[in-house]
């Protein structure tokens, strides 16, 4: 699992949804929950997946009409790092520090 090199408020919002979810969450649900634009959320999810924090899967056939949903789930190994990133970010915000943070996680862990 690679470290996160950029933590923005939008990334923190996405991590919060993933940490809180007991089951995989579909992308548009994350967009709606965070109130962030899909143009921000999907690149964050792609980055989290490429770094090994998240896995995704397309839904199987469904009787529901519309496009297939892609579900995302935070890896258990990334949960502690995500919670730490959220806590650190919120503490810095409370102290009035800049929302940008140093990288989180261990490279190659």
pLDDT 10s digit of each residue in the chain, 109 long? 788 887 899 999 999 999 999 999 999 999 999 999 999 999 999 999 999 999 999 988 777 778 889 999 999 999 999 999 999 889 888 887 655 545 555 444 4
% helix / strand / coil in the chain, to the nearest 5? 50, 15, 40
User: pTM for this structure?
Assistant: 0.82
Q: Which domains does the chain have, with CATH numbers?
A: 9-90 (1.10.10.10)
Provide Rg for the chain, Cα atoms.
14
Residue 81 to residue 98: CA distance in whole angstroms: 20
C-alpha dist (Å) from residue 75 to 24, 35, 93, 99 = 10, 23, 26, 25
């Amino acid at each position: 699992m690679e470290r996160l090199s950029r933590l923005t408020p939008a990334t923190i919002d996405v991590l919060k949804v993933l940490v809180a979810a007991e089951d995989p969450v579909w992308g548009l649900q994350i967009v709606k929950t965070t109130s962030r634009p899909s143009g921000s959320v999907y690149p964050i999810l792609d980055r989290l997946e490429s770094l090994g924090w998240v896995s995704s899967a397309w839904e199987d056939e469904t009787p529901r009409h519309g496009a297939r949903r892609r579900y995302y789930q935070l890896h258990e190994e990334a949960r502690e790092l995500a919670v730490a990133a959220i806590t650190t970010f919120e503490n810095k915000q409370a102290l009035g520090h800049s929302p940008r943070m140093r990288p989180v996680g261990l490279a190659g862990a």
